[in-house]
Chain A
Amino acid sequence: MKIVVCVNQVPATNDAKIDPETKRIIREKTKAILNPFDTYAIEEAVQLKKKFGGEIIALSMGPEKAEHCLREAISVGVDRAILLSDPAFGGSDTWATSNILAHAILKIGKVDLVICGKQAIDGDTAQVGPGIASHLHWQQATQVVCVNEFITGRLIVDRMHENGLDRCALDLPAVITVVKGINIPRVPTLKGCLASKKADIPIWKHADLTISFDEIGLNGSPTRVVKTEPPVPRPSLTVKIAGTPEDCIKQLKAELIRRKQFALKSR
């Protein structure tokens, strides 16, 4: 089985700086890490390879320093990695980004499965995985919490939603996005880290892909960020209860009844 894992380098903390003009993150001024959700995608790929054999290729689009997250992927068991880096890719929204990744996946060739983290913690859109599937016209399952079975040409997965789980059968090739909880990502070993430093990571540029300038960067991006602002703070649900144990029990009971009534009215 040939698996491609799409990984993304994201700002390490929530204090990322936003360019007031472009509304985009100023990545040069922020420490970058491997997107935490992508660690689950990598681990799932490593576990599938362990069970069924094959090859894992990590793929990332970003500036040259994004190579660091690809090396991290290699340090935990990915076989090789490719970085998509070209000034022409700059300014791509999720549609253009997934298009570029889809073209790279086609160039890699004979890919059975693409695994992505459910979303990146910087944009939080959860659109790139589904976008790749759309561009490739492959089947997809998002929010996958368990890969149950892999039978030749078919993958059985459980996907999570508000009301429970869906069990889906996907014909391969396919794209899945995985959630936290699907596995426990392994911690890199020293041996793995040292090996990853020596790995050769080719950089693919626009010229390496059969994609036009109209489909990438700002030209290929149908969406524009027009404004960013912090979300409205949620009202605190915590109530401090004080007093004697008897008083506390009375207050707790009253609070629970009040909230239950509120919850019933809200339905």
Chain B
Amino acid sequence: MHKSIDTIRKRVYHVEILPPKQDSEKLEADLELFEQKYRRIMENGYCACITDNAMGLLAFQGSELIEELNLPVNSDQIMIHLNTFHTKDNLDNILNFCRQAGIESLLIITGDGSDRLPKLTPSNLGETDIESVTSVELLKYIHRRYPGVFSLGVAFNPYEPQQQEFAKMERKLMAGASFIVTQPLIEKNHVVDLLIETYPLIPVTIEAWMSKKLHLLSDAVGYSIPEDAQFDPIENLKQLHRVYPECGFYLSLLGFKTQFDMIQEIWNDEKVNAFPREAK
């Protein structure tokens, strides 16, 4: 078994970090900040999750950041997002780098495009009977090209029409997905409950929204959350621990100045954890 899937099974916190944007006017400072965050995640024993042009905004790739900044790679402490908006050469370069560097865990998503991002074509991935590439084709390609090398995860959106989302999940699992990460939850969600019940052997990681910016959360979940709604991300994380004790957590937009130290307390707090973990 991959070490990275063990990390998911042990429900180690997955902490998202956003790479510097391509149009950054203070690139050096942004790189320094990225490095600090990455190393802090490593030192605390969490798993660093690096996004891939999130929301279609052009940013540097996790693989090139690790290479250029010479960051340490512990295979059980890193997850790279990989979407379908790449050239074939670029995709292969990323996958080859990950294999060589020992990065096992990839979160495969269809992703958000933009005018500046190229999209993989079916012929790029050796597909002939489809019109466009989704995460399913990307999963198949990676498994075919790099058998046994990677542990591949997929996204689950409980806010999409349920029947279609479960049908999609079935295709993703058939294509070789071995773990699932949900869209952000702010309370117990019956569709996610059904997901856990339907696939008891597949580890499900719950995304917890750690920002107070509710308009961004509205964009992510696809329905409008009133801006004046009461939302405390730390309390929400504790609540999610209570209702999903069997799941790990993916922390998006975590504040490194104030929240980072607080999650350690939650991690160790047996009161909120039905299944206390070994303290780091």
Please, how many angstroms separate the alpha-carbon atoms of A131 and B24 in the complex? 34
Q: Name the B residues within 8 Å of A188 (CB-CB).
A: 22
Stretch at the interface among B74-82, B111-119, B170-178: B111-119
- B-contacting 9-mer, from A98-106, A157-165, A179-187: A179-187
**A93 CA to B25 CA in the complex, in Å?**
30
A11 CB to nearest chain B CB (Å): 14
Q: Is the Cβ of B87 less than 8 Å from the Cβ of A184?
A: yes
Contact status B87-A186, CB under 8 Å? yes
Q: Are A187 and B22 in contact (CB under 8 A)?
A: yes
Residue of B whose beta carbon sits closest to that of A39: B116
Partner-binding segment picked from B58-66, B220-228, B253-261: B58-66
B87, closest chain A residue (CB): A184
* Contact present for A190 and B116 (CB under 8 Å): no
A36 on the B face (CB < 8 A): yes
Interface size on B, residues (CB 8 A): 15
For B71, the chain A residues whose CB sits under 8 A away are none
Interface size on A, residues (CB 8 A): 14
- B68 on the A face (CB < 8 A): yes
Report yes or no: B58 in contact with A190, Cβ–Cβ below 8 A.
Answer: no
Contact A190 B60 (CB under 8 A): yes
B55 close to chain A: CB less than 8 A: no
Q: Mark B108-147, 1 if CB is under 8 A from A, else 0.
A: 0000000111100000000000000000000000000000
A189 within 8 A of B: yes
- The answer to whether A190 touches B65, judged by C-beta atoms less than 8 angstroms apart, is yes
The chain A residue sitting closest to B115, CB to CB, is A36
Which residues of chain A from 172 to 216 have any CB-CB distance to chain B below 8 Å in the complex?
184-191, 193-194, 197
Q: Are B117 and A190 in contact (CB under 8 A)?
A: no
Which of B22, B27, B64, B118 interacts with A191 by CB under 8 Å?
A: B64
Q: How far is the CA of A189 from the CA of B117 in the complex (A)?
A: 13
Q: In chain A, what residue has the closest Cβ to B22?
A: A188
Identity of the chain A residue whose Cβ is nearest the Cβ of B31 in the assembled complex = A190
Measured CB to CB, the nearest residue on chain A to B25 is A68
Q: Whole-angstrom distance between the alpha carbons of A186 and B87 in the complex? A: 8
The proximity string for A residues 53-66 relative to B, scoring 1 for CB distances below 8 Å and 0 otherwise, is: 00000000000000
Residues in B whose Cβ lies below 8 Å from that of A190: 60-61, 64-65, 68
Task: Give CA–CA (A188, B58) in the complex, Å.
Answer: 10
Q: Given A184-B87, A186-B87, are A193 and B27 also a contact pair (CB < 8 Å)? A: yes
- Output the nearest chain B residue to A33 by Cβ-Cβ distance: B23
> Which residues of A from 71 to 116 have beta carbons under 8 Å from B?
none
Residue of A nearest to B24 (CB): A193
B22-54 contacts to A, CB under 8 A, are 22-23, 27
Measuring CB to CB, which residues of chain A are less than 8 angstroms from any residue of chain B?
33, 36, 39, 184-191, 193-194, 197
The 8 closest A-B pairs by CB, nearest first: A184-B118, A190-B64, A190-B60, A190-B68, A189-B64, A191-B68, A188-B22, A187-B58
B interface residues (Cβ-Cβ under 8 A, vs A): 22-23, 27, 58, 60-61, 64-65, 68, 87, 90, 115-118
21 contacts between A and B (CB under 8 A): A36-B115, A184-B118, A186-B87, A187-B58, A187-B117, A188-B22, A189-B60, A189-B61, A189-B64, A190-B60, A190-B61, A190-B64, A190-B65, A191-B64, A191-B68, A193-B22, A193-B27, A193-B60, A194-B27, A194-B68, A197-B27
Q: A190-B60, A194-B68 are in contact. List 13 more A-B contacts (CB 8 A).
A: A36-B115, A184-B118, A186-B87, A187-B116, A189-B60, A189-B61, A190-B61, A190-B65, A191-B68, A193-B22, A193-B27, A193-B60, A194-B27
